[in-house]
A = this chain, B = another copy of it.
């Protein structure tokens, strides 16, 4: 009997269906808790449905695109929704304790599986390249399934798709203090741009433009 043994888990990244929005909503709130920002998270099933699943649907990767990570113990049958499939070898002793496993079961699948994460991305534009790129807004893996290569699997699948579509860049944001995440992304070949800062109008600062109050001109304009 061997002292080391492995079990195989199959991971499939597939386009989310509108019926799977409740899983997405729970994971988005888990993500907001994870980064200590639950008070900023107002995503509901209704708001996710209307914003991510417009009617008629837009083609994937030309608009907001939601992908779910499905895990199963047997190889999944590829479907039109499939973006990528991989197998992971997990070393024993490592039974994965996932108390929420049964709650993350998609109505679209009859086999034994669990939804373990998501990625949301959308096209962005590079003026200098005169090409589209892809922006990854979020990558999330549920807690029991972290540190198993699933984040890398999802990012790789999306980057591969972007490269195959002829896009010029794949971009996303990281918090500057999160040196583990930065090192992980750099290990995948990413560059962390040190000089760029994100600027934002939101809440009342955005709403005030509605009334035209933002239109007064100041003489010290730098542009």
| A→B interface (CB under 8 Å) | 28, 31-32, 37, 40-44, 47-48, 51-52, 62-64, 86, 88, 120, 122-132, 135, 137-139, 141, 146-153, 156, 159-160, 162-164, 167-177, 180-185, 187-202, 205-210, 212, 214-215, 217-223
> How many angstroms between the C-alpha atoms of A8 and B79 in the bound complex?
62
Chain B residues positioned under 8 Å from A151 (CB to CB): 221-223
- Whether A120 pairs with B125 at a CB distance below 8 angstroms is yes
- Whether A200 pairs with B195 at a CB distance below 8 angstroms is no
- Whether B193 pairs with A200 at a CB distance below 8 angstroms is yes
Instruction: Give the dominant DSSP class at A's interface.
Output: mixed
Given A138-B127, A208-B189, the answer on whether A198 and B199 have CB atoms closer than 8 Å is no
For A148, give the chain B residue with the smallest CB separation. Answer: B221
Name the distance in Å between A25's Cβ and chain B's nearest Cβ. Answer: 8
For A150, give the chain B residue with the smallest CB separation. Answer: B223
Given A124-B135, A128-B32, the answer on whether A209 and B159 have CB atoms closer than 8 Å is yes
